[in-house]
Amino acid sequence: MRNFSDDAILLRTKGINKVFGSGKKAVHAVKDVDFAMHKGEILSIVGESGSGKTTFAKILLGLTQETSGEVFYDGKPRDLGSQAKRKQYWRNIQAIFQDPYSTFNQFFRVEKILNDCLVLQGQKNLKTEVKHEKMREACTFVNLKFEELYNKYPFELSGGQMQRLMIARIFMIKPNVLIADEPTSMIDACSRSTILDMLLKLREEQDMTILFITHDLGLAYYVSDTLYIMENGEMVESGAAEDVILNARHPYTRRLVQDVPKLNEPWDLDSVV
């Protein structure tokens, strides 16, 4: 695993807090999080259900407003003050979520969904054949057949096809940062390893920086250069993946490490998915 500490920081946060509600019912979902992601890195946030992972991811994406703190992209404070700036930001940073059903507008056919990726990239005036060729290339990357799917609605696809369509979207948008929030939680082990391999291929072929979010430390260790451990809204430990696993200092991390079978044995994908 590479150590990224000397590489350029692409995405950084300072003192991020998120409180939902107020008074006695307030939930402090994210607590004072300092975070840095380097260019080309695969970084995982690992934590149990309810620890604040998705909330933090949505703050990074600009989909949830932080209560306090700051997000920096490419060395500058993030500015989402206008529609144009938000569009520009979402060209740079994209996500795939736990639930593919929530990603797609169910009233849009696959062709429109993929065409919107070209529009986001500013490529809306291409000839239909050129557009279709780009869509076909993206579908081939994720082992989908464009000709069979382009006229269908998302609800006519299987869960696995939808997961792959989400990655085809990312392939077309080519963001600098991809946030993958539990992208494999709803699928079987075989599709899971395919999806993970596709994410690793995206990094290799498009030099993508990837934030992977999971409750599964074994999986995170397999794919990541760097790990952040999140408990009750706090990042309790972080560092190079091997360091965090082998020299876990925080009791919560030690407990997570103990829960992973075979962590001290040689790793292959089949043992963790």
Q: Where do contacts with ligand ATP occur on this chain (CB under 6 A)?
A: 20, 27, 29, 47, 49-55, 215
As given in the structure block, the two tokens for residue 249 are: 């200092």
Residue 47, binding choice from Mg ion, ligand ATP, none, Cβ under 5 to 8 Å by partner class: ligand ATP
As given in the structure block, the two tokens for residue 134 are: 């780009």
Query: Which residue's CB is nearer to ligand ATP, number 20 or number 267?
Result: 20
Residue 50, binding choice from Mg ion, ligand ATP, none, Cβ under 5 to 8 Å by partner class: ligand ATP
How far apart CA 135 and CA 111 sit, in angstroms, is 8
How far apart CA 103 and CA 110 sit, in angstroms, is 12
Residue 51, binding choice from Mg ion, ligand ATP, none, Cβ under 5 to 8 Å by partner class: ligand ATP
The minimum distance between CB 131 and ligand ATP, in angstroms, equals 35
Query: Which residue's CB is nearer to ligand ATP, number 54 or number 191?
Result: 54
The minimum distance between CB 142 and ligand ATP, in angstroms, equals 24
Which residues of the shown chain bind Mg ion in the complex (CB under 5 A)? 54
Query: Which residue's CB is nearer to ligand ATP, number 49 or number 128?
Result: 49
Q: How far is CA 135 from CA 19, 51, 79, 88, in A?
A: 41, 37, 31, 21
Query: Which residue's CB is nearer to Mg ion, number 41 or number 182?
Result: 182
The minimum distance between CB 115 and ligand ATP, in angstroms, equals 31
The minimum distance between CB 169 and ligand ATP, in angstroms, equals 21
Side-chain half-sphere exposure of 26, counting CA atoms within 13 A:
10
Residue 29, binding choice from Mg ion, ligand ATP, none, Cβ under 5 to 8 Å by partner class: ligand ATP
As given in the structure block, the two tokens for residue 75 are: 């060395």
Query: Which residue's CB is nearer to Mg ion, number 94 or number 115?
Result: 94
The minimum distance between CB 232 and ligand ATP, in angstroms, equals 9
| 149 CB-near residues (< 8 Å, 6+ apart) | 110, 139, 157, 161, 165
Query: Which residue's CB is nearer to Mg ion, number 46 or number 257?
Result: 46
- Nearest position to Mg ion, beta carbon: 54
Q: Which amino acid is at 187?
A: I
How far apart CA 232 and CA 29 sit, in angstroms, is 7
Length of the chain: 273
The minimum distance between CB 252 and ligand ATP, in angstroms, equals 13
The minimum distance between CB 62 and Mg ion, in angstroms, equals 17
* DSSP summary character for residue 207: -
Residue 160, binding choice from ligand ATP, Mg ion, none, Cβ under 5 to 8 Å by partner class: none
Bridge partners (DSSP) listed for residue 181: 213
Query: Which residue's CB is nearer to Mg ion, number 44 or number 54?
Result: 54
Report, in this order, helix, strand and coil percent for the chain, each rounded to 5: 40, 25, 35
- Kindly state the helix (H) or strand (E) to which residue 177 belongs, with its residue range: strand 177-181
Question: Would strands 9-20 and 177-181 be described as parallel, antiparallel, or unpaired?
Answer: unpaired
